[in-house]
Structure 1
Amino acid sequence: MWQSLIETQKSLVPDMLSHMLKRINILTCIRNEEPIGRRSLAKELGMTERVLRSEVDNLLELNLIKVESKGISISAAGRQTLTDVEPFLTLIESRDDLAAQLTEKYSLKDIYVVRGDADHNVLVKEELARLMAEKLTSNLTDGMVVSVAGGSTMALVSKFLKPGFQDLLFIPARGGLGEDAALQANSIVSRLAAAANGEHRMLYAPDSISKASLELLKEEPMVREIIELNNRSSIVIHGIGDALQMAERRNVSGEVISKLQNRNAVGEGFGFYFDADGNIVHKVDTIGLQLEDLKDKDAIFAVAGGSGKKEAVKAYLKLAPQNTILFIDEVLAEYLLG
Structure 2
Amino acid sequence: MREILDIQKQLLPDLMDVMKKRYSILRHILVSGVVGRRTLASSLDMTERVLRGEVDFLKEQGLLETDASGMKISESGRQLLEKMEPLIKVAFGLTDLEERIAEAFGLIHVVVVPGDSDNSSFTKKELGRAGAAALRKFVVKDDVIAVTGGSTMAQVAHHMSISSRMKGSWFVPARGGLGESVDMQANTIASTMAKKTGGKYRLLHVPDHLGEEAYQTLMQDPQIQEVVDVVRKCRIVVHGIGDAMVMARRRKVDQDTTRSLQAEGALAEAFGYYFDRQGNVVHKMPTVGLRLDDIQKTEVVIGVAGGKSKGEAIASVLRHGQEDVLVTDEAAALEMMKHAVSRPS
TM-score range, shorter chain: 0.7 to 0.9
Q: How many Å apart are 1:55 and its aligned residue?
A: 4.2
Match of residue 215 from structure 1:
216
After TM superposition, the score normalised by the length of structure 1 is 0.73
CA distance in 1 between counterparts of 2:203 and 2:281 reads: 28
Across the aligned residues of Structure 1 and Structure 2, the Cα RMSD in angstroms comes to 2.8
Give unmatched runs, 5+ long, in structure 2.
Answer: 19-41, 48-80, 339-345
Q: 1:307 to 1:298 in 2, by over 3 A?
A: same
CA distance in 1 between counterparts of 2:207 and 2:180 reads: 11
Q: How many Å apart are 1:102 and its aligned residue?
A: 1.4
Amino acid at match of 2:271: F
Match of residue 270 from structure 1:
271
Match of residue 162 from structure 2:
163
Q: How many Å apart are 1:337 and its aligned residue?
A: 2.2
Does the aligned pair in 1 maintain the 2:272–2:284 contact within 8 Å?
A: yes
Superposed counterparts of 1:1-338, under 5 Å: 51-52=11-12, 55=14, 83-84=45-46, 93-94=88-89, 95-165=94-164, 166-321=167-322, 324-338=324-338
Q: How many Å apart are 1:108 and its aligned residue?
A: 1.2
Amino acid at match of 1:162: S
Which deviates more from structure 2 when the two are superposed, residues 294-303 or residues 254-263?
A: 254-263
Q: How many Å apart are 1:48 and its aligned residue?
A: 7.6
Q: How many Å apart are 1:262 and its aligned residue?
A: 2.1
CA distance in 2 between counterparts of 1:163 and 1:135 reads: 15
CA distance in 1 between counterparts of 2:303 and 2:208 reads: 20
Does the aligned pair in 2 maintain the 1:179–1:251 contact within 8 Å?
A: no
Does the aligned pair in 1 maintain the 2:105–2:319 contact within 8 Å?
A: no
Q: Deviations over 1:109-159 (max 9, x none)?
A: 211111111101111111111111112112222221111111111111122
SS at match of 1:105: helix
CA distance in 2 between counterparts of 1:48 and 1:203 reads: 53
SS at match of 2:321: coil
Which deviates more from structure 2 when the two are superposed, residues 302-311 or residues 253-262?
A: 253-262
Give unmatched runs, 5+ long, in structure 1.
Answer: 1-17, 23-44, 60-79
Q: Deviations over 1:189-212 (max 9, x none)?
A: 111111011111111111111212
Amino acid at match of 1:293: D
Q: 1:303 to 1:82 in 2, by over 3 A?
A: closer
Q: Deviations over 1:143-177 (max 9, x none)?
A: 21111111111111122111223322111101111
CA distance in 2 between counterparts of 1:55 and 1:141 reads: 43
CA distance in 2 between counterparts of 1:211 and 1:234 reads: 28
SS at match of 1:317: helix
Does the aligned pair in 1 maintain the 2:127–2:155 contact within 8 Å?
A: no
CA distance in 2 between counterparts of 1:282 and 1:182 reads: 27
Q: 1:212 to 1:101 in 2, by over 3 A?
A: same
Q: 1:177 to 1:259 in 2, by over 3 A?
A: same
SS at match of 2:134: helix
Amino acid at match of 1:156: Q
Q: 1:286 to 1:83 in 2, by over 3 A?
A: same
Q: How many Å apart are 1:324 and its aligned residue?
A: 1.6
SS at match of 1:265: coil
CA distance in 2 between counterparts of 1:81 and 1:145 reads: 37
Q: Deviations over 1:206-248 (max 9, x none)?
A: 1111212211211212211122112221111000100011111
Q: How many Å apart are 1:82 and its aligned residue?
A: 8.2
Amino acid at match of 2:266: A
Q: How many Å apart are 1:81 and its aligned residue?
A: 12
Q: 1:47 to 1:158 in 2, by over 3 A?
A: closer
Does the aligned pair in 1 maintain the 2:209–2:251 contact within 8 Å?
A: no
CA distance in 2 between counterparts of 1:48 and 1:98 reads: 19
CA distance in 2 between counterparts of 1:81 and 1:190 reads: 31
CA distance in 1 between counterparts of 2:152 and 2:264 reads: 27
Does the aligned pair in 1 maintain the 2:132–2:160 contact within 8 Å?
A: yes
After TM superposition, the score normalised by the length of structure 2 is 0.71
Which deviates more from structure 2 when the two are superposed, residues 308-317 or residues 237-246?
A: 308-317
